[in-house]
Chain A
Amino acid sequence: MYIKWMRWLLLIWLSAVIVFAFVQPAPQQQIGETSRIIYFHVPCAWLCVLAFFMTALLSVRYLLKKDMTLDAKASLSAQLGLLFCLLATVSGAIWARFAWGAFWNWDPRQTSIFLQLLIYFAYFSLRGSIGETEKRATFSSAYAILAFLTVPFLIFIVPRITPSLHPSDTVIGKEQKFNMGPVVRWIFFSSLAGFTLLYYYLYRLGAKIKVAELNRKGMA
């Protein structure tokens, strides 16, 4: 199946991204070498949001169709999202240490990624506290959707209310993300595409496993 060749494509693609990320000159002048982290940190943060969006979407579909496989997929996407969220938080904190002097500043984006972490934590706590299958699926779907409704507030409105340190929000790159030269742009978007493909690959693989499991138990 096409999943098989995807893993080779991913291997080659992401390896290339990593190589270029370190071989090419550093993207940001002021911050220097550490700015290379942007090739990995931003895609992780992006995947965290994408995964959560998928969870919310699958949750909506579950509530409408009551198909257990949809709930299993929602949970799977949340697991992937949690992973990338952790990676984004940690990579962000490391970068913050070098760029802004401290690991944590409660910059709006740091706040939102932290809250996203809490949302995932809450989602899985909720799932863990309910044994009845339909209840667990319905409740976690409802919570995922409710929590997703708060995300636009975190991403768009909070930065306007509290001052921000993130490059894309500060004066240096007010109109768009801080000015990227063509090479940097290439590597950046390749990384973004590669990571997105990685998410897709993991999701498809995981979904196959979960659906098979549900079928085996006679619950699909």
Chain B
Amino acid sequence: MSWAAETRTILKKELRSEFRRRWSSALLLLFGLVTVFVVSFSLGAGSLTPGLLSAFFWVTLFFASTAGLSRSFLKEEETKTILALRLLASPPSVFWGKLCFNLLLLFFLELILVPLFFVWMNVSGINASGFLLILLLGSLGLVAGTTLAAAMVAKAESKGVLFVILAFPVLAPLLIFAMAGTKAAFAGAGWEQLANPVKALVSYAVVIGAGSSILFDFIWEV
């Protein structure tokens, strides 16, 4: 199973690079924390409805993702290391390696963000395991939907906000499902009510993940 070994090689390299230079994690954390801080601060004490809380949470994750998840490909392009990768690596290992890396980055952000969010926004009375499941599935969907766009933007000539423009329409269904599920979980809903969003999230992650990985080969080679 050499592609698994190759994917692991790429993942290890990404982690090592990130550890030494912190390209993406810093951006991710910065955006995430600032957003939560601003929202929580401006609203003062007192809590919000599950719907609003859910919306703020996913908006924060979305913005942080658009800031931090595209760096992985961008910096390879900027430092001219991408050509060596294209020359010697197999496309699937690059796609899955970078996707796993982005997922780990996202988990890292969530590890810090979620407790802060809960404390600052006075969240209580929730279906914790339901929320965590939605968070996991939503994160999978986020990286599935952004990796392809990140690769394209890195190779485009004028970048600017292109990543957000490309990522948002593709991520929109995911955000809708995740927000609906999180809202229900925050309201303390049981598993029956969470079933629909969960199923939607799983199918989104599978369809978009599979589609992206196939399309990536074409992007990578050109």
Contacts of A111 in B (CB 8 A): 172, 176
Contacts of B1 in A (CB 8 A): none
Distance to closest chain A CB from B148 (angstroms): 6
Among candidates A138, A149, A161, A162, residue contacting B219 with C-beta atoms closer than 8 Å: A138
Contacts of B196 in A (CB 8 A): 160-161
A129 at the interface (CB under 8 A from B): yes
A77 at the interface (CB under 8 A from B): no
B143 at the interface (CB under 8 A from A): no
User: A143, B152: Cβ atoms under 8 Å?
Assistant: yes
B48 at the interface (CB under 8 A from A): no
Distance to closest chain A CB from B98 (angstroms): 16
User: A115, B157: Cβ atoms under 8 Å?
Assistant: no
B42 at the interface (CB under 8 A from A): no
Distance in angstroms between the alpha carbons of A142 and B173 in the assembled complex: 19
User: B218, A121: Cβ atoms under 8 Å?
Assistant: no
Contacts of A182 in B (CB 8 A): none
Distance in angstroms between the alpha carbons of A115 and B172 in the assembled complex: 8
A177 at the interface (CB under 8 A from B): no
Distance to closest chain A CB from B210 (angstroms): 9
User: B173, A147: Cβ atoms under 8 Å?
Assistant: no
Contacts of A141 in B (CB 8 A): 218
User: B156, A129: Cβ atoms under 8 Å?
Assistant: yes
Residues of chain B in range 189-222 having any CB-CB distance to chain A below 8 Å: 196-197, 200, 203-204, 207-208, 211-212, 215, 218-219, 222
Given contacts A138-B218, A142-B218, A162-B180, contact A130 B165 (CB under 8 A): no
User: A139, B156: Cβ atoms under 8 Å?
Assistant: yes
B2 at the interface (CB under 8 A from A): no
B162 at the interface (CB under 8 A from A): yes
Distance in angstroms between the alpha carbons of A118 and B164 in the assembled complex: 11
Among candidates A125, A129, A130, A150, residue contacting B172 with C-beta atoms closer than 8 Å: A150
Distance in angstroms between the alpha carbons of A149 and B212 in the assembled complex: 10
Please list the residues of chain B having a beta carbon within 8 angstroms of any beta carbon in chain A.
148-149, 152, 155-159, 162, 165-166, 168-170, 172-173, 176-177, 180, 196-197, 200, 203-204, 207-208, 211-212, 215, 218-219, 222
What are 26 inter-chain pairs, A to B, with CB distance below 8 A?
A63-B215, A63-B218, A118-B168, A119-B169, A122-B165, A125-B162, A126-B165, A129-B156, A129-B158, A129-B162, A134-B222, A139-B219, A142-B215, A142-B218, A145-B211, A146-B208, A147-B169, A149-B211, A150-B169, A150-B172, A150-B173, A153-B173, A153-B200, A157-B173, A161-B176, A162-B180
Please list the residues of chain A having a beta carbon within 8 angstroms of any beta carbon in chain B.
63, 111, 115, 118-119, 121-122, 125-126, 129-131, 134-135, 138-139, 141-143, 145-147, 149-150, 153-154, 157-158, 160-162
A126-B152, A129-B157, A146-B208 given; 8 more Cβ-contact pairs under 8 Å? A111-B172, A115-B172, A118-B172, A129-B158, A139-B222, A141-B218, A149-B211, A161-B177
Question: Closest 8 interchain pairs by CB?
Answer: A153-B173, A142-B215, A118-B169, A138-B222, A119-B169, A129-B156, A129-B158, A149-B211
